[in-house]
Amino acid sequence: MTVDNHIGTPPAKRRLSPWLAGMFLCLALVVVASASLASGYLDIGVADIAGLFRSKAIGSPVLLDEAAAVTIWEVRLPRILTALVCGAALALSGAVFQGLLLNPLADPYTLGVSSGAAFGASGTVILGLLFPGAALFAEPWAMTLGAFAAASLTLAAVILLAQDADRRLSPTNLILAGVILSAILSAAISFVKYLAGDQVESIVFWLLGSFQARTWADAGVIIVFFIPALFVSLWSAVDLNIMTMGARAAETLGVNTKRVRLSLLAAVSLAAAAAVSVSGVIGFVGLIVPHLVRILAGPDHRSLLPLSALGGALLLSLADMAVRSWLPGEIPVGVLTALLAGPAFLVIFRKRMAGRDNG
Amino acid sequence: MDERQSTGPRLSVRDVRFKHGPQLVLDSVTLDFAPGRHYAVLGPNGAGKSTLLDLLSRLARPASGSILVEGRNISEYTPGGLARLVSLAPQECRLDFPFTIREVARMGRRPYLGRWGCLDVEDERAVERAIAGLHLGSIADKPVTALSGGERRRAVVARTVAQDAPIMLLDEPTSGLDVAQALSVMALMKRFAGEGRLVVTVSHDLDLAAAFCHEAVFLKAGRVAAAGPIGECFTPDILAAVYDAEAAVRPDPFLGGLSASFRPRKAENGS
CA A313 to chain centre: 9
Q: Is residue B93 part of a domain?
A: no
DSSP for B129-141?
Answer: HHHHHTT-GGGTT
Which of B57, B96, B146 is the closest to A244 by Cβ?
B96
**Do the chains contact at B141 and A11, CB–CB below 8 Å?**
yes
Q: Chain B residues with CB inside 8 Å of A9's CB?
A: 98, 143, 145-146
Q: End-to-end CA distance of chain B: give it in Å, rounded.
A: 42
DSSP for B37-84?
Answer: -EEEEE-STTSSHHHHHHHHTTSS--SEEEEEETTEEGGGS-HHHHHH
The mean pLDDT of A116-129, rounded to a whole number, is 85
Query: Which chain B residue lies closest to A3 (C-alpha atoms)?
Result: B146
- The angle subtended at Cα B254 by Cα B252 and Cα B258, nearest 5°, is 20
Distance CA A225, CA B23 (A): 46
Determine contact, residues B89/A248, Cβ cutoff 8 Å.
no
Q: Is 60 exceeded by the pLDDT of residue A147? A: yes
Distance CA A258, CA A250 (A): 11
* Integer angstrom CA distances of residue A43 from A38, A66, A74: 7, 14, 16
Distance CA A130, CA A196 (A): 10
Please give the pLDDT value at position A12. 46
**Do the chains contact at A9 and B98, CB–CB below 8 Å?**
yes
Residue ranges making up the domain that contains B200:
3-85+165-263
Q: What contacts 24+ positions apart, CB below 8 Å, involve B117-125?
A: B117/A237, B117/A238, B117/A241, B117/A302
Helix (H, G, I), strand (E, B) or coil at B168: strand
Which of A102, A239, A300 is the closest to B96 by Cβ?
A102
CA distance B64 to chain A (A): 17
* Sheet strands side by side (includes B72-73): B23-33, B11-20, B64-69, B72-73
Which of A104, A242, A294 is the closest to B107 by Cβ?
A242
The mean pLDDT of B144-172, rounded to a whole number, is 93
Q: Tens digits of per-residue pLDDT, A179-213?
A: 899 999 989 988 888 888 777 887 887 788 888 87
The total domain count for chain B is 1
In a mutagenesis test of the B interface, which of A2, A252, A255 is the best target, namely the one with the most B β-carbons within 10 Å?
A: A252
Please give the pLDDT value at position A121. 84
**Do the chains contact at B116 and A241, CB–CB below 8 Å?**
no
Q: Is 60 exceeded by the pLDDT of residue A8? A: no
Q: Is residue B41 part of a domain?
A: yes
For residue A203, which amino acid is it? I
Q: Chain A residues with CB inside 8 Å of B141's CB?
A: 11-13
CB pairs under 8 A between A and B: 103
In a mutagenesis test of the A interface, which of B87, B94, B97, B106 is the best target, namely the one with the most A β-carbons within 10 Å?
A: B97
Residue B178: CATH number of its domain: 3.40.50.300
**Do the chains contact at A244 and B97, CB–CB below 8 Å?**
yes
Q: Chain A residues with CB inside 8 Å of B123's CB?
A: none
Q: Tens digits of per-residue pLDDT, B65-89?
A: 999 999 899 999 999 999 999 999 9
- Say how many C-beta atoms besides its own lie within 10 A of residue A244's C-beta: 21
Burial label for A79, CB within 10 Å (0-12, 13-18, 19+), is buried
Percent of chain A exceeding pLDDT 90 equals: 28
Q: Tens digits of per-residue pLDDT, B200-229?
A: 999 989 999 999 999 999 999 999 999 999
Q: Is residue B97 part of a domain?
A: no
CA distance A345 to chain B (A): 17
Distance CA B142, CA B177 (A): 18
The mean pLDDT of A253-277, rounded to a whole number, is 89
**Do the chains contact at A6 and B102, CB–CB below 8 Å?**
no
Domains of chain A: 18-358 (1.10.3470.10)
Question: What are residue B171's DSSP bridge partners?
Answer: B202
Q: Chain B residues with CB inside 8 Å of A100's CB?
A: none
Q: Tens digits of per-residue pLDDT, B12-62?
A: 999 999 998 888 899 999 999 999 999 999 999 989 999 999 999 999 999
Q: Is residue B108 part of a domain?
A: no
Please give the pLDDT value at position A266. 86
A105 in contact with chain B, both atoms CB, cutoff 8 A = no
Q: Is residue B143 part of a domain?
A: no
The mean pLDDT of A332-358, rounded to a whole number, is 76
Determine contact, residues A271/A96, Cβ cutoff 8 Å.
no
Q: Tens digits of per-residue pLDDT, A41-90?
A: 777 777 788 888 888 888 777 777 878 888 888 888 999 999 999 999 99
Q: Is residue B119 part of a domain?
A: no
What's the DSSP call for residue B196? T
**Do the chains contact at A9 and B143, CB–CB below 8 Å?**
yes
A165 in contact with chain B, both atoms CB, cutoff 8 A = no
Would you place residue A264 in the very low, low, confident or very high pLDDT band (cuts 50, 70, 90)? Answer: very high
Q: Is 80 exceeded by the pLDDT of residue A352? A: no
Please give the pLDDT value at position A169. 75
Sequence-separated (6 or more) residues with CB below 8 Å from residue A331: A323
Closest to A261 (Cα-Cα) out of A159, A125, A146, A124: A159
